[in-house]
């Protein structure tokens, strides 16, 4: 399995597939917000940023997957973003399943002054919903619960690919004088 994962990480196809999946999730989030008129909360916005972090990692890996340093950088950025997204989704689920007046999400997003995404792109990164409000569910699970599944899958795949980098690449045998 690790041989296969390493071979996938050495090709642009795997990185492209990762990028497409992230863009699909971002498009779904924007669809929920702008077409279905669901109000995104602060945790929703942070989860979107985590998906964008994985997409950034996919772009980095797509540049030059045969260079170990670039591939490792992409995997570390992607795995970090996936773990952060998983932690955010778990916390968001806790806000929805156990609403407490003393434990609530912030009212406004808090991006660094050097990267004020909510000021640059308010239609995408501005939060105006409540984290504890359940606005949408599918098969009995709310959106943050589905995001736990999504981010856990990203963690497993990116973690497996990162571990596969420790496996040495097999060199092909010369068959000319065999």
Number of structural domains the chain divides into: 1
Q: Is residue 34 part of a domain?
A: yes
| Catalytic residue, candidates 12, 22, 41, 71 | 41
Q: Is residue 176 part of a domain?
A: no
Work out the average pLDDT over 166-174: 65
Q: Look at residue 177 in the predicted model and tell me its pLDDT.
A: 59
| Catalytic residue, candidates 12, 22, 48, 170 | 48
Summarised one tens digit per residue, pLDDT across range 41-96 is 888 889 999 999 999 999 998 888 788 888 889 999 999 999 999 999 999 888 88
Q: What's the CA gap between 168 and 136, in Å, rounded?
A: 46
| Catalytic residue, candidates 91, 105, 170, 172 | 105
Q: What's the CA gap between 77 and 131, in Å, rounded?
A: 26
Q: Is residue 177 part of a domain?
A: no
Q: What's the CA gap between 127 and 130, in Å, rounded?
A: 9
User: Within 13 A of 120's CA, how many CA atoms are on the CB side?
Assistant: 7
| Catalytic residue, candidates 12, 22, 44, 172 | 44
Is 91 catalytic? The answer is: no
More confident residue, 174 or 125: 125
Backbone φ and ψ for 119, nearest 5 degrees, come out as -85, -35
Q: Look at residue 80 in the predicted model and tell me its pLDDT.
A: 95
Q: Is residue 68 part of a domain?
A: yes
Is 105 catalytic? The answer is: yes
CATH number at residue 17: 1.20.1550.10
Q: Is residue 104 part of a domain?
A: yes
Q: Look at residue 138 in the predicted model and tell me its pLDDT.
A: 81
Work out the average pLDDT over 106-128: 78
CA-atom Rg of the chain in angstroms: 19
Which percentage of the chain shows pLDDT scores above 90? 31
The whole-model pTM stands at 0.83
Is 44 catalytic? The answer is: yes
Q: Look at residue 170 in the predicted model and tell me its pLDDT.
A: 63
User: Within 13 A of 90's CA, how many CA atoms are on the CB side?
Assistant: 8
Q: Is residue 77 part of a domain?
A: yes
Q: Is residue 148 part of a domain?
A: yes
For 54, the domain range is: 1-166
Is 131 catalytic? The answer is: yes
Using DSSP's 3-state secondary structure scheme, residue 18 falls into helix
Q: Is residue 114 part of a domain?
A: yes
């Amino acid at each position: 399995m690790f041989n296969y994962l390493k071979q996938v990480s050495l090709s642009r196809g795997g990185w492209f597939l990762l990028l497409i999946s992230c863009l699909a999730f971002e498009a779904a989030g924007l669809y929920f917000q702008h077409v279905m008129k669901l109000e995104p909360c602060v945790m929703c916005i942070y989860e979107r940023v985590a998906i964008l972090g994985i997409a950034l990692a996919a772009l980095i890996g797509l540049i030059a997957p045969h260079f170990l340093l670039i591939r490792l950088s992409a995997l570390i950025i992607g795995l970090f973003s996936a773990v952060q997204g998983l932690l955010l989704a778990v916390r968001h689920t806790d806000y929805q399943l156990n609403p407490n007046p003393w434990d609530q999400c912030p009212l406004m997003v808090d991006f660094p002054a050097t990267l004020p995404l909510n000021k640059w792109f308010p239609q995408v990164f501005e939060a105006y919903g409540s984290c504890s409000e359940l606005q949408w569910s599918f098969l009995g699970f709310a959106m943050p619960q589905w995001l736990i599944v999504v981010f856990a899958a990203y963690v497993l795949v990116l973690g497996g690919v990162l571990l596969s980098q420790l496996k040495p690449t097999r060199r092909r045998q010369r068959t000319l004088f065999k």
